[in-house]
Structure formats: structure tokens, C-alpha cells
């Protein structure tokens, strides 16, 4: 099975998982818990928005044909007031932002552009265009139109829309369950003091955070030791979930047992190697309609390959219509070079204005402190070797 370029591998994940997604169960949750969830049904406008004509400025509601001129102030209308009596010729209503525009008025003149004359008159010396500073009924949304499409991941603006339309509770898709299995004799629990040859289980907790941020429910399984007898039952347990993520044991060493064990339990691999660094030995397969990922064990490799491949599958399982890989463009503030042949994803720091990029030196994909310093990964294309100061390069946002 030949190695794939990362874009090919990612597209293969999407094309493989999309047909596997069946109608998911739906649950009703309180609105205040809905942020980040996937909407089960489209949200429609329950009335026109706005429901009447509203003023966009503090000022005076007038008939445009009466200005320039001096007008009698009929009264005052504030936001929350009911509609007022219609304007007669050469009259004006003092009006506040958001207040209903009285019948007969077709323009609002800002308060800065008028001069009061005595207690009950206002002088306006400039013309007013019909419709100026008026938010027409239904101009934001008309009754019955779709405000939020089905299968949208709800952000803060969607929560505002749901509140605006009176949704106390929201119908959302249930979250897929994802098993997380770390492998390796060198891994110990977080509360243990590792010996010099051991490491704490950082990968499982990192992956759990990534899975949760993607909108799924993670379960961290016990660490699998580097024997087939230890690995096989934990793989079977993980395959009871909607997706299985395995970290470590996917290279070609004597004790890298994950790929042979996954084959033994019936996983059909679609790729076993990707032309990226870090993360070349990444594997992806299917068993019984469920995606399975074998991710390299070093934390940098695990993080990057999750973002490139596993995240797309989980977004589809969660109900998203189209997974998006967040790539931006930035310019180097120092020269950069890498070896040709592989697409490399390397820790970098993007300036606060988003314009300047600097590579963060690291000791390889096990260097967690370097990962913590980064806010993006620069994407060094396989067929370009050098970049000068000011050259543009793609960057991937750190999840």
C-alpha cells in the first residue's frame, strides 16, 4: 500500500466516512447547553424580523417631502413603545434607536443634524432620502425563512438566533462516542512518578480534549502494553464505540503491534502511511462501518495527524456537512528551510496581528514544551526547500 500525500489521505477519509454516517439519534437540551452542538432541524423565522419598521438612529422621524423646513414636534417614541399616531404634514416625532417608526414617516434625521426651535419645534436644513435610517419590516428575515440550516454547529450567534425565536430547548444530534487507546510499555499513569525510561500518559488526555472539542464523547481506555494478549481485548473494547483512536505502536518496529492486531480483529485499512512529518506511519481503516485510526505515539505526531485526518471523520460522525481544515497564510519574519520530499507540519508562532510567522525550534515530535509555545503549525510543502523573509506560507491553526 503506497504512501499518500496528506491531501489525498484526508480526502480518502472524508469519502470513506461520509457514506457510513447514518441517521443519528436526536436529543433535546436546554438552550444554555447548546453551544457547539449540531442542530438536528433547521430553525425558521417565527415572524418577520424586525416585526415593524424601526429607527436605526436617535433623531426625528419625518416625512421626507417636508424637509428642509421647520416642523412641529408631535411627541417622543422610545424603543419598546407601541406604534404612535400617524404623522401629519410638517410634523416630526422625536425617536430613539430601535423605536417603531410612526405611520406616515419615511425617514429619520439624526439628532446631530437638527436644531431645536423653542420647546416644540425642530429646524432641519438638509434633505432626507426616503428610507434613510429606517430598518424596514422583514428586512433582516421574513416569516418562515431558514435562519439556521440543519446540521449547523451552533456558535454564539446561533444561540442568539435561537433565543430570538423563542427556543427554550433545542433539538440536537447525540454525540458520537470515541474510544482512546494509548499503547506502550513505557507509559505510566498521571499520578505516578515516572522513572527516567518512562513517560506519563499525555496522549490520551490530549486526544480526549480534542475529541470533546470536535463535539464527541471520549472514553479513555486503560493503556495497552506491548503484547498481543494485552492489546487485542482492548481493541475489541474500543471497537464497541463509534470510532477508535489508537496512539502508538504503528511504526515498523519489533514491538509495533497495532496494525497487525487491528487486521486480526477485522479492520480493513485504506491507508497505512502518509507523506507527512511528523506522522508518516498514520493508518486509517474501517471495521463494521466504524472508522479506526492508528496515530503515531509521539504527542506532536498524534496532535497533527488527529487534526489532519481523525478530526474530519469525527466531524462527519457528529453531523457536520463538510469538514474544514483551518489553513491560513502568513509571512516569515526569519528565513526558513527544510528537506524536500515530505510535507512538514512544524510548530510556529504567529504574531498578534496575524502577519508575521516564526518557526519554533523543537527536538522532534516528542517535544511537548515546544508544542505548548506554538499557536500554529507552519505547512512546509514537500516540493519547496527554502523561504526568505517576507515569503508567504500556509499555516494550520493549533486545535
pLDDT digit string (tens) for 247-262? 998 876 675 789 999 9
Compute the average pLDDT of residues 268-276.
96
Instruction: Give backbone dihedrals phi and psi of 97, rounded to 5 degrees, phi first.
Output: -55, 130
E strand or H helix at 332: strand 327-332
- Of 293 and 187, the one with more pLDDT: 293
Largest CA distance in the chain: 95
Q: pLDDT-based confidence at 349, cuts 50/70/90?
A: very high
Using an 8 Å Cβ cutoff, are 153 and 52 in contact? Answer: no
pLDDT band per the 50, 70, 90 thresholds, residue 386: very high
Per-residue confidence band for 144, with pLDDT thresholds at 50, 70 and 90: very high
| Superfamily for domain range 327-397 | MoeA, C-terminal, domain IV (2.40.340.10)
User: Please, what sign has the CA dihedral across residues 364, 368, 372, 376?
Assistant: positive
Give 109's strand partners.
60
Instruction: Report the chain's mean pLDDT, rounded to a whole number.
Output: 94
To which H or E segment does residue 314 belong? helix 311-318
Helices (H) and strands (E) in the chain, counts: 8, 28
- For domain 6-25+174-318, the question of CATH label 1.10.1370.10 is answered with no
Which CATH code of 2.170.190.11, 3.40.50.300, 1.10.10.10, 3.20.20.70 fits the domain covering 54-135? 2.170.190.11
35-47+141-173 homologous superfamily: Molybdopterin biosynthesis moea protein, domain 2 (3.90.105.10)
Would the pLDDT of 246 be above 80? yes
What Cα–Cα distance (Å) separates residue 295 from each residue in 231, 268, 290, 313? 15, 16, 16, 14
CATH topology identical between 6-25+174-318 and 327-397: no
Query: For residue 83, what pLDDT is reported?
Result: 77
As a whole number of angstroms, the distance between CA 56 and CA 33 comes to 33
Rounded CA gap, 304 and 308, in Å?
6
Please give the distance of CA 343 from its chain centroid, rounded to a whole number: 24
Q: Are strands 268-271 and 283-287 parallel, antiparallel or unpaired?
A: antiparallel
Averaged pLDDT, 17-40: 92
> What pLDDT shows up at residue 12?
97
pLDDT at position 255 is 59
1-5, 96-100, 220-224, 388-392: least confidently modelled range: 1-5
- Specify the pTM: 0.83
Q: Enumerate the domain spans of the chain.
A: 6-25+174-318, 35-47+141-173, 54-135, 327-397
pLDDT at position 21 is: 87
Percent of the chain at pLDDT > 90 equals 85
**Neighbour-count burial of 128, counting CB atoms closer than 10 A to its CB (0-12 exposed, 13-18 middle, 19+ buried):** buried
Provide the β-strand partners of residue 181. 246
Written as nine digits, the cell of 224 is: 495497552
Contacts of 370 by beta carbon, 8 Å cutoff, 6+ apart: 300, 347, 360, 361, 362, 363
pLDDT tens-digit profile of 80-137?
998 788 999 999 999 999 999 999 999 999 999 999 998 899 999 999 999 999 999 9
The CA distances from residue 91 to 69, 100, 244, 336, 392, in Å, are: 10, 16, 72, 70, 60
Question: What distance in Å separates the CA atoms of residue 4 and residue 18, rounded to the nearest whole number?
Answer: 20
Amino acid at each position: 500500500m503506497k504512501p499518500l500525500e496528506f491531501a489525498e489521505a484526508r480526502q480518502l477519509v472524508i469519502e470513506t466516512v461520509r457514506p457510513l454516517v447514518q441517521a443519528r439519534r436526536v436529543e433535546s437540551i436546554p438552550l444554555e447547553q447548546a453551544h457547539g452542538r449540531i442542530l438536528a432541524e433547521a430553525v425558521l423565522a417565527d415572524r418577520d424580523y424586525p416585526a415593524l419598521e424601526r429607527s436605526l438612529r436617535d433623531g426625528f422621524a419625518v416625512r421626507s417631502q417636508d424637509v428642509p423646513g421647520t416642523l412641529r414636534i408631535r411627541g417622543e417614541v422610545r424603543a419598546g413603545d407601541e406604534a404612535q399616531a400617524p404623522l401629519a404634514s410638517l410634523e416630526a416625532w422625536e425617536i430613539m434607536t430601535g423605536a417603531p417608526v410612526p405611520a406616515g414617516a419615511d425617514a429619520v434625521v439624526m439628532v446631530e443634524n437638527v436644531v431645536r426651535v423653542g420647546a416644540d419645534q425642530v429646524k432641519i436644513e438638509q434633505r432626507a432620502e426616503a428610507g434613510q435610517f429606517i430598518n424596514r419590516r422583514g428586512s433582516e428575515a421574513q416569516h418562515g425563512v431558514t435562519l439556521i440550516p440543519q446540521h449547523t454547529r451552533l456558535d454564539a450567534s446561533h444561540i442568539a438566533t435561537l433565543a430570538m425565536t423563542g427556543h427554550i430547548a433545542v433539538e440536537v444530534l447525540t454525540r458520537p462516542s470515541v474510544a482512546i487507546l494509548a499503547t506502550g510499555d513505557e507509559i505510566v499513569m498521571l499520578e505516578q512518578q515516572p522513572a527516567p525510561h518512562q513517560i506519563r500518559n499525555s496522549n490520551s488526555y490530549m486526544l480526549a480534549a480534542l475529541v470533546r472539542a470536535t463535539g464527541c464523547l471520549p472514553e479513555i481506555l486503560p493503556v495497552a502494553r506491548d503484547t498481543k494478549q494485552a492489546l487485542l481485548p482492548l481493541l475489541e473494547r474500543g471497537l464497541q464505540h463509534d470510532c477508535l483512536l489508537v496512539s502508538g505502536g504503528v511504526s515498523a518496529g519489533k514491538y509495533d503491534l497495532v496494525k497487525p492486531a487491528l487486521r486480526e480483529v477485522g479492520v480493513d485499512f485504506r491507508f497505512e502511511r502518509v507523506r507527512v512529518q511528523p506522522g508518516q506511519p498514520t493508518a486509517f481503516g474501517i471495521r463494521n462501518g466504524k472508522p479506526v485510526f492508528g496515530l503515531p505515539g509521539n504527542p506532536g505526531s498524534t496532535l497533527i495527524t488527529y487534526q489532519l485526518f481523525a478530526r474530519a471523520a469525527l466531524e462527519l460522525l457528529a453531523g457536520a456537512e463538510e469538514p474544514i481544515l483551518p489553513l491560513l497564510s502568513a509571512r516569515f519574519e526569519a528565513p526558513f528551510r527544510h528537506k524536500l520530499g515530505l510535507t512538514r507540519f512544524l510548530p510556529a508562532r504567529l504574531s498578534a496581528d496575524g502577519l508575521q510567522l516564526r518557526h519554533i525550534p523543537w527536538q522532534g515530535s516528542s517535544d511537548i514544551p515546544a508544542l505548548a509555545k506554538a499557536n500554529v503549525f507552519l505547512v512546509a510543502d514537500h516540493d519547496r526547500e527554502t523561504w526568505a523573509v517576507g515569503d508567504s506560507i500556509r499555516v494550520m491553526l493549533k486545535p
